[in-house]
Structure 1
Amino acid sequence: MSAETNTVLHGVLADYRVIDLTDERGHLAGAIWVQMGADVIAIEPPEGSSARRLGPFAGDVEHPERSLHHWAYNRGKRSVVLDLRTPQDVDRAKALIAGADVVFESFEPGEAEALGLGREALAGLNPALIHVSITAFGSDGPKANWAVSDLALQASAVNMAITGDKDRAPLRAGGTLPQAMHNAASEGAGAALIALWDRQTRSGLGQHVDMSAQQSMSQASMSSTLNTSLNATVTKRIAGGASLQGIDIQLMWPCADGHASVTFLFGPGFRAFTENLMDWVYEEGFCDEATRDKNWNEYAMMLLDGREPISEYERLKQVLTEFFATKTKAQLLEAAMTRRVLITPVSTTAEVVDSHQLAFREYWEDVDHSDVVSDVGADSFDSAAVRYPGAFAKFTETPLLNLRRPPKLGEHTVEVLAELDEAAGAARAPAVPASVRGVADAASITSPPLEGVKVLDFMWAMAGPAASRVLADYGADVIRVESANKLDAVRSIQPFHNDVGDPDGSGLFSNLNAGKRGLALDMSKPQALDVIWDLIDWADVILESFSPKAMAGWGMGWSQVHQRRPDVIMASSCLMGQTGPLAMLAGFGTMAAAVSGFFYPVGWPDRAPAGPFTAYTDYTSPRWLVAAVMGALEHRRQTGRGQYVDLSQSEAALHLMAPALLERTTNGRIWEAADNRDLVFAPQGAYQTASGGPAGDDHDDNWIAVSCVDDGQWAALAGAIGRSDLASLNTAERHARHDELDDIISAWTRGRDGYDLMTELQAAGVAAHIVQNSPEFTVDPQVVHRQHLVEVPHGKQGTTTVENTRFVLSRTPAQVSYGGPTLGEHSFEILTETLAYDGDRIAELAVAELLE
């Protein structure tokens, strides 16, 4: 559909104004708010945002109005040119900020203060302002002002140490598409909405939101950050899988026409799927009955305790290799739907753009760019219908906007400045409700912002629980409903305390579910539904990640819930969304990441795709779900009405690879793997060192990530290496000679200690960081300063370590009080205190064997 104008007039955030002072490091935050209806004003310098100079470019015309990176994240915003090096324009920016509700900025720590736009200055100017700083390592701490790149940030965050082939350098997620700052920016959008909720319902005041990309990106390690703290074996990388306790877990296989993600795992959460797969393998003659009928429930423990030799698991992998070689990607996807096996193809961007599922859900938005093209010159693409990723979720009451094209540089300067009331200094006041404006002693309101919000959580695995964990961190009362009959798969996944495979000892489960109350209920029995209805009557928000139609099958679909509770919010999160030909695709984020195009561009040009570490969309989509839930709560605050949110992991995550998708829709090219190299600056790579990396004293696997993001950094690196004769090479020359420069840098780093190199290069202003795994991350001075790892009580372990919140609200900080619940840990408390059941009622439930 055409999106030349915002065709939906009033999104849920239509009352709010955002000043966007970010560049490519943070512009995704404003992109989320503008989709939800906010008036987002992007302030750019006279030369334009640096994002406008990032390739690729539409039609391969290098021009500030043609950057696909800028296009991807700035549709629907208004562009205002202000030169913040001049006092007059700083005053204009302040006038705009005085009337704004939110400011997103990605200044380096201290840069905003030097401009007169620092945290204290803005709070004094506008006490109701929500001020979000999106930075690499956070606003303070020993690394706050370090030179950074996307590669260096990912190296600091554990995910890179466990991504890639084990016999080569570790790789960053995203390939040549930056990810770390996008993860922080998308998380910042939801964080701002949590702060907005506090302002609109409790205090009337704004506050500062401090984002750290290192902390946000560490979520992509699947809690491997915790291994050292839990005395668990450190995770090591293997392409398309993971190496755990000496076992190479394979999660990707070659097939007849490419590759496929295959979740070949074991334990209660995976047994049925693995049985289905092995039945198929047996039917086609690739294994015998004994192989088919292995104890897939106990198989992981059998490998760990020696009952099953590792050589037998290696034989199984070879059996599957031979089997999958006979199947096409289309055949494997069909089998996923008909045989209920956990398989999806590793898709290219071309296959993503041509997806029947996305077409059915009308995901893509066609945007007219013809007026921009006429300004720049002739084109090789259809400028009247540039195809973009669309809504990150579907809302029944407040659908997201279809957005106009990204603005030309300064296109709205005259319009926006004319809105300023010069006499008053601002065109508007922040939209604070009269009921909380001027609340007595409001500054003392520091209790959690979501205190009083009640969440009924049916989520499982990773993506859903990671979102509800954020709500719990900031004060929501989250009741997590589980069943021993269908144990959450995450309870069977490492890291485990002391490597002991106890369902109540999974650090991953505890991390994802910290601060929640746990109710164990056998939902396969009809009598359990009465309890669930009572909890629905209690809740403000219902979250579920069952397969589509499961809730309706229990008589608890949205139509039934809405009829009984028109004010309740219900959000469903699954791989592909609630409708479409792939709606019933069951599985995990590995599968969504593969079919959504994230696996294909991560790897080496001469090898099969390596993919990001396992379930990448499970790590990224929770940020979008938090924003969706908070947007729905804001709508309920305004109207008293609830609504239904249908969030597809795939559709939300695709925004993180939007420039690659635009490269396909505009230029017709597929985004290919290029190891750790960058589209813009060079050289860049992960280079081996003698020590100081993820393996500690293992000299074969220590690495440092180095990026030269400009000519000055390259000159500094060349001088440090002792090759000043190369210091004058420009960017194009460095790209052309990248192989040669890699060899020179590798020869220099190979005999050096990584920590020493990192210190030396940072002192010279070069973006460099050792590739950290859990041991290094645990003692990282910045991680310690940010108190990212916290020890909390645990119902079985006594105490456990979990990750802290990944962002900091200045006035209403998170409170992480205990680890994830043991199975049914709070059942009695919930039944007696929350639902007010008496002893007879609880006895009836026990006799019916509903409580587990």
Structure 2
Amino acid sequence: MNIQHDLLTGIRVLDFTWSVSGSTTTRILAAMGAEVIKVEWPKTPDMMRFSMYAKDDEPGLDNGAFFNSLNVGKKSFTVNIKSAEGMNIIKELIGKSDIVTENFSAGVFEKWGLDYSSLKKVNEGIIYMSISGLGHTGRQKNYGTWGPTAAALSGMTYISGLPDKHPSGWGYSILDIVAGYTGTYSILTALLYKKRTGKGQYIDISQVETALPLVGSNVLDYFVNARSSNRQDFPTGNRSVLSTDVNKTDFRGPIACPQNTYRCAGDDKNDYCVIAIYTDDEWERFKEAIGQPDWVNDSKFSNLTGRIHNQDELDKQIEGYTKRFTKYDVMEKFQKYDLVAAAVQQNEDIMENDPQLRFRTLFETIKHPLLGERLVEGIPMKMSQSSPYIHKSAPLMGEDNHYVLKEVLDYSDEEIEYMNSIGVFWPLDLSKDSFKAVRPLW
């Protein structure tokens, strides 16, 4: 890894984000070298701590796989901001920070007395970023949303899928990730502005609005070609709609043959390789790639029409070849002949076997104090002088309290002991053992 320095060394982020969108922003900032201090309270922890435990991992406060991916590189500080002592500590931290981030619903930070005008009184140059579904202004600002809700409001969900089928949806909170990356480049822009002017600013990000570039082609199609994205007979009214698709065991299409998923060596259910041959020239290269066995030169396979008419036999012959090799061997063999071929991959394949991602070192190994060594997603950008990288595992809740209180705020041992005794940093009626039986949220 060719890294000369961290881009954001010396920048401190006070991070109130939770779930996915805001945590994505601060995850990237941490990978760029910023000191990110994640603020939580054990009675209302980030819900991601309890979602998607990895197989065989014991459920608990610090073991959630999704949390540990979203929060790599960060520090953890626990404080009760509803107490006078806790709020004073937060204001002291704001005074010693460069950036404050949150992704609560509009109005939450204001209720805490931490709106931008109040933050400026504590730290004139602070950069404050908020992410919410519809932004912090306008008559719909208080509407509650999640990533999938924002996708639906933006039109992304409606235009997904095939024109003659009901919308397929995105299957994941895509706008949480899009908004998270938008937050990162907005903060980087604000830091550049502050470097030039000495002034901070407020960044208000609407997840719905971050989707608009992703639906631009449909908007353009409507205004230029007067062609609507509406589907005939959809929506059908206030009732559930089930897919009318028929499950198929192949992926044949009308313009290529062979075109299918072919069984390869191995006993995993995903040991298949997709192969598609579109032209007679490609067919000739395919024949050469598999060594010109006698059957490929049968005249019934010599052109596309013949191959389509005899594709059952053709698929059987091809699978007789592919089953002798791994799906990656098949993929690489045909790609060397400039043919369309791709291994069918599941999550484990993508993380551990994908040759391109391995070469790009997208996944990095970190050592977690409870979970041991794990692969986590890196940052998908490479820079010749300051590539972002994962500095450390996600924090255990409250593991950096001593650092924050002693080294950042210079509190005395007596002050810390007193505030500990009245429950400022951890609820007096709550132990970490009480989280061990918590099950995943989904």
Give the TM-score of the pair, scaled to structure 2. 0.77
In structure 1, distance between residues paired with 2:177 and 2:31: 17
The aligned residue for residue 820 of structure 1 is: 394
Match of 2:90, SS state, is helix
The aligned residue for residue 575 of structure 1 is: 133
Give the Å deviation of 1:842.
Answer: 1.4
Structure 2 stretches of 5 or more lacking a match? 232-242, 246-253, 288-295, 427-442
Aligned amino acid, residue 517 of structure 1: K
Does 2:356 correspond to 1:782? yes
The aligned residue for residue 155 of structure 2 is: 597
The aligned residue for residue 620 of structure 1 is: 178
Per the alignment, do residues 641 and 719 of structure 1 end up closer, same or farther by CA in structure 2, a change over 3 Å counting? same
Give the Å deviation of 1:745.
Answer: 8.5
Per the alignment, do residues 630 and 727 of structure 1 end up closer, same or farther by CA in structure 2, a change over 3 Å counting? farther
How far does the alpha carbon of each residue in 1:697-722 deviate from its partner, in whole angstroms, 9 at most, with x for none? 344x55545677xx77x741576385
Per the alignment, do residues 493 and 661 of structure 1 end up closer, same or farther by CA in structure 2, a change over 3 Å counting? farther
Per the alignment, do residues 795 and 747 of structure 1 end up closer, same or farther by CA in structure 2, a change over 3 Å counting? same
Contact 2:262 2:274 in 1 (8 A): no
In structure 1, distance between residues paired with 2:193 and 2:37: 23
The aligned residue for residue 668 of structure 1 is: 227
Per the alignment, do residues 447 and 509 of structure 1 end up closer, same or farther by CA in structure 2, a change over 3 Å counting? same
Contact 1:688 1:704 in 2 (8 A): yes
Match of 2:92, SS state, is helix
Does 2:343 correspond to 1:761? no
Match of 1:630, SS state, is helix
Q: 1:716 is matched with which residue: 243, 260, 282?
A: 282
Contact 1:783 1:789 in 2 (8 A): yes
Mapping for residues 188-587 of structure 1, pairs under 5 Å: 446-496=4-54, 498-587=56-145
Does 2:406 correspond to 1:832? yes
Per the alignment, do residues 716 and 808 of structure 1 end up closer, same or farther by CA in structure 2, a change over 3 Å counting? same
CA RMSD of aligned residues (A): 3.5
Contact 1:462 1:512 in 2 (8 A): yes
Give the Å deviation of 1:513.
Answer: 0.9
Contact 1:707 1:768 in 2 (8 A): yes
In structure 2, distance between residues paired with 1:616 and 1:684: 34
Q: 1:841 is matched with which residue: 415, 425, 432?
A: 415
Contact 2:331 2:343 in 1 (8 A): yes
In structure 1, distance between residues paired with 2:32 and 2:315: 45
Contact 1:446 1:811 in 2 (8 A): yes
Give the Å deviation of 1:605.
Answer: 6.1
In structure 1, distance between residues paired with 2:313 and 2:281: 14
Give the Å deviation of 1:770.
Answer: 1.7
Per the alignment, do residues 843 and 742 of structure 1 end up closer, same or farther by CA in structure 2, a change over 3 Å counting? farther
Contact 2:13 2:37 in 1 (8 A): yes
Per the alignment, do residues 719 and 786 of structure 1 end up closer, same or farther by CA in structure 2, a change over 3 Å counting? closer
Does 2:376 correspond to 1:806? no
How far does the alpha carbon of each residue in 1:340-394 deviate from its partner, in whole angstroms, 9 at most, with x for none? xxxxxxxxxxxxxxxxxxxxxxxxxxxxxxxxxxxxxxxxxxxxxxxxxxxxxxx
Contact 2:150 2:208 in 1 (8 A): yes
Contact 2:273 2:342 in 1 (8 A): yes
Per the alignment, do residues 686 and 651 of structure 1 end up closer, same or farther by CA in structure 2, a change over 3 Å counting? farther
How far does the alpha carbon of each residue in 1:288-326 deviate from its partner, in whole angstroms, 9 at most, with x for none? xxxxxxxxxxxxxxxxxxxxxxxxxxxxxxxxxxxxxxx
Give the Å deviation of 1:793.
Answer: 2.5
How far does the alpha carbon of each residue in 1:662-693 deviate from its partner, in whole angstroms, 9 at most, with x for none? 223432310769x9xxxxx965998433247x
The aligned residue for residue 431 of structure 2 is: none
How far does the alpha carbon of each residue in 1:623-680 deviate from its partner, in whole angstroms, 9 at most, with x for none? 221111111111101100111111112211221232123223432310769x9xxxxx
Contact 2:72 2:395 in 1 (8 A): yes
Give the TM-score of the pair, scaled to structure 1. 0.42
Structure 1 stretches of 5 or more lacking a match? 1-207, 209-444, 676-680, 730-736
How far does the alpha carbon of each residue in 1:580-636 deviate from its partner, in whole angstroms, 9 at most, with x for none? 343223343222223323333444667543322321111222222111111111110
Contact 1:497 1:507 in 2 (8 A): no
Match of 2:366, SS state, is strand
Give the Å deviation of 1:743.
Answer: 8.2
In structure 2, distance between residues paired with 1:835 and 1:547: 29
The aligned residue for residue 195 of structure 2 is: 637
Contact 1:546 1:574 in 2 (8 A): yes
Larger relative contact order (CA 8 Å, sep ≥ 6): 2
Contact 1:688 1:746 in 2 (8 A): no
Count of paired positions: 388
The aligned residue for residue 440 of structure 2 is: none
Aligned amino acid, residue 349 of structure 2: E
Per the alignment, do residues 685 and 818 of structure 1 end up closer, same or farther by CA in structure 2, a change over 3 Å counting? farther
The aligned residue for residue 345 of structure 2 is: 772
In structure 1, distance between residues paired with 2:136 and 2:286: 55
Q: 1:697 is matched with which residue: 267, 271, 279?
A: 267
Aligned amino acid, residue 786 of structure 1: R
In structure 2, distance between residues paired with 1:810 and 1:816: 16
How far does the alpha carbon of each residue in 1:257-279 deviate from its partner, in whole angstroms, 9 at most, with x for none? xxxxxxxxxxxxxxxxxxxxxxx
Aligned amino acid, residue 467 of structure 1: T
Give the Å deviation of 1:463.
Answer: 1.4
In structure 2, distance between residues paired with 1:741 and 1:568: 69
Greater Cα shift, 771-780 or 513-522 = 771-780
Give the Å deviation of 1:838.
Answer: 1.2
Match of 1:805, SS state, is coil
